[in-house]
Amino acid sequence: MKFGKEFASQMVHEWQEAYMDYNYLKSILKDILNFKKRNAPSSEVAATSNGSLKRRISMYRAFSGLQAFSFKGSPVNNNHEDEVILVNTVQQEGSEGHHQTMFLMSSEQGGEYEMVFFKRLDDEFNKVLSFYKKKVGQVKAEADELSKQMDALIALRIMVDKPSIEMHSTQVIDPSSVVPIHLRSPVRSHMEVIQEVEMTSEETLEDESTSGKRNSTKMNPMGFRPAPLEVLDNVKINIEPATPVSTLKNVIKTSKSDLSYSKEELRKAEEQIRRAFVEFYQKLRLLKSYSFLNVLAFSKIMKKYDKITSRKASKSYLEMIDKSYLGSSDEVAKLVERVEATFIKHFVNGNRRKGMKYLRPQAKRETHRVTFFMGLFSGCSIALVAAIVVSIRAGNLLQHEGRGQYMDNIFPLYSLFGYIVLHMLMYAGNVYYWRRFRVNYPFIFGFKQGTELGYRQVLLLASGLSLLALAAALSHLDMDMDPKTRKFETVTELIPLGLVIVLLLIVFCPLNIIYRSSRFFLLRTAWHCICAPLYKVTLPDFLLADQLTSQVQAIRSLQFYVCYYVWGNFRTRSNKCQESSVYQILYIVVAIIPFWSRFIQCLRRLFEEKDSMQGLNALKYFSTIVALVMRTLYDQKRGTFWRVMAASTSGITTVANTYWDLVIDWGLLQRNSRNRWLRDKLLVPHKIVYFVAIVLDIILRFVWMQLVLDIRELPFLHRKAFVAVVACLEILRRGIWNFFRLENEHLNNVGKYRAFKSVPLPFNYDEDKSQ
């Protein structure tokens, strides 16, 4: 693999604008090479005709006095005869110094090309250096904050573990003596605790007497010094609400409260700080990689320059890079070592292997087993589809007298699995293209590192579910058609219910099988959607709620399961659900649950973030709820009034939702962008893809209007089947929406250099008391 591709593949996606523009500098070198090829014969003739009259180019340099240049710092180069460049640090007023290269061969033919190269090279280096300094400053500030958090945590551990010991407020305890709460022995005698405190106090005094002034100086970030217990006098606890009940309590009182010194409080604080350490460690590793990759890129481009121009400029420039803050600073490396030592010592009881497993989780390897079973299940599913089609044609079931009864009672039961499988297939396609176009979807969704599913795993689950559903549907048909098994009506009708139970058992299975981490992530996010607004709204929460708004028919199918097997007479394949007023009301209520969840989420974000756009988004979802209610009432009651109400509300919400999709969620239709009517940055290289997606989104949005226009009865298609087709089109539209929604979110992260999650810290220092 060429270095340019390898360099691009190892970049931090969200920082790509801050990396050295290797391809652009390479294109300048190509211009220099092309110029030399065009002018090679004429330059050789000039060299031979001048002969001995040709003087060294150094004889024509301007004399600038016997003093050094008026730059801050001295030139990197020594005064060699073959020097090509002089690299200096220029100090500008009101800004930090930047590096500037003086090209000494500008009088040669084609020298202007090389001057352009060094000018752009300096710009790239100064950009990289400035970004690196800024990020190092940020991680040092975070390290200081983590140091304060550790001081408070260690003091809290002491107070929770030794509440009966009276200590002086200035007494210092060695952090190594304080074991995390989850690693402590359940039974410890009072004498053991006193002896431990006395021993640590003596060790502390000995350390202070032998170290002298060295311990009195301010320690480096992450160098956790023994923490006095008096820090707890200035600390309040700020633990994120974990349940709706705690959220309601925090509405009444502030989330920052005094310490209660309980074990549960300590456990939550330890958990939050542990997550903060893991995230901080990932940031340090990527920052270290950023420095290494850029230094390597400058080395590669300078060696290419030397090769093309036959000069020896790389040595001088690379010496400057090695002496610069980018090449010589070891602050990040030291922070990495201190974080490792601190995490291993205080959170895993000195077990380095376990600590590094936490800090550096390994991504799961792709196995051939997944591909094999995916292909097997997919092939079997295709065979089952063909078998069902043959059974229908052979039995002439489309003209059978029981066709209407089957479509009204059995088809909605199996269509549920079709909706789920189709949505999973669209998600697998999204994952494939997100990876292909380098959309950092694991970070956006907030997946734990190494647990995100690839498109093969998602296809495996989708094909497995389709295999189960199709096998159940075919067996159902076979038992209906075979006179020998027709007497088992109860068993036959319970097949769909048994399949739903199996699916629920798999989803809620507590065993570490079938991607438990992803299953629990889905369940936790779904619970947050149901309990909105009692949980803080995160991006996975409202994205899942958006997915559920496209699964209205699937939710109604679940409602029909309850009606058919509880209220209906499933043994005779009949039900009177549609005649029940309670069922009709619930038919509306269950459909608006996802939209109501999004409406409430927008209101919470409006009050928390003070963002007016969230208020407009809430109005959009409220209008969708009104339109959905009106369409359902028209479907149930008919009449001109309900038809006018349904048409008007559906038209308004369709236009509003389409505009929001294209302009707000996708960031497209920007008139003055570099890519006209799209946006400035695009990940897909073919612009036609975006215009096709816009057209499809508009068309599929207006499919909603079919309920109002009464285009539901077709001679070759049953009404239930037509509703299922419309629901599948909505799922397809949501799959297209997902790709461009996350692409826009990813580009927003790139524009803000946002590559890490912000982990809330448990302790808040009262600045007034601490001063």
Is position 576 within any domain? yes
Per the model's pLDDT, the better-predicted residue between 704 and 432 turns out to be 432
501-516 tens-digit pLDDT: 999 999 999 998 899 9
pLDDT over 80 at 381, yes or no: yes
Cα(755)–Cα(575) distance, rounded to whole angstroms? Answer: 54
Other residues' Cβ atoms within 10 Å of the Cβ of residue 272: 20
For residues 325-341, average pLDDT: 90
For residues 590-602, average pLDDT: 94
> CA 263, 269, 272, 276 torsion: positive or negative?
negative
Is position 352 within any domain? no
Domain of residue 608 covers: 368-751
Is position 22 within any domain? no
Is position 558 within any domain? yes
pLDDT at residue number 466 = 96
Cα(630)–Cα(646) distance, rounded to whole angstroms? Answer: 5
For residues 457-466, average pLDDT: 96
Amino acid identity of 629? Answer: V
Coil, strand or helix at 78 = coil
List the beta bridge partners of residue 707.
none
Predicted confidence band at 722 (pLDDT cuts at 50, 70, 90)?
A: confident
Cα(140)–Cα(331) distance, rounded to whole angstroms? Answer: 9
For residues 407-432, average pLDDT: 94
Is position 202 within any domain? no
Phi and psi angles of residue 237, each rounded to the nearest 5 degrees, phi first? -90, 140
pLDDT over 70 at 183, yes or no: no
Is position 119 within any domain? no
pTM, rounded to two decimals: 0.79
Is position 419 within any domain? yes
For residues 374-381, average pLDDT: 96
Q: Could you check whether the bond before residue 533 is cis, i.e. omega within 30 degrees of 0?
A: yes
Per the model's pLDDT, the better-predicted residue between 767 and 697 turns out to be 697
Predicted confidence band at 198 (pLDDT cuts at 50, 70, 90)?
A: very low
For residues 718-746, average pLDDT: 92
352-369 tens-digit pLDDT: 888 888 888 776 677 789
pLDDT at residue number 196 = 38
Other residues' Cβ atoms within 10 Å of the Cβ of residue 486: 11
Burial of 31 (C-beta count, 10 Å sphere; 0-12/13-18/19+): middle
Predicted confidence band at 4 (pLDDT cuts at 50, 70, 90)?
A: confident
Predicted confidence band at 489 (pLDDT cuts at 50, 70, 90)?
A: confident
Amino acid identity of 167? Answer: M
pLDDT at residue number 750 = 79
Predicted confidence band at 213 (pLDDT cuts at 50, 70, 90)?
A: very low
Predicted confidence band at 711 (pLDDT cuts at 50, 70, 90)?
A: low
pLDDT at residue number 430 = 96
Predicted confidence band at 518 (pLDDT cuts at 50, 70, 90)?
A: very high
For residues 289-298, average pLDDT: 92
Is position 230 within any domain? no
Query: How many domains are contained in the chain?
Result: 1
Cα(537)–Cα(546) distance, rounded to whole angstroms? Answer: 13
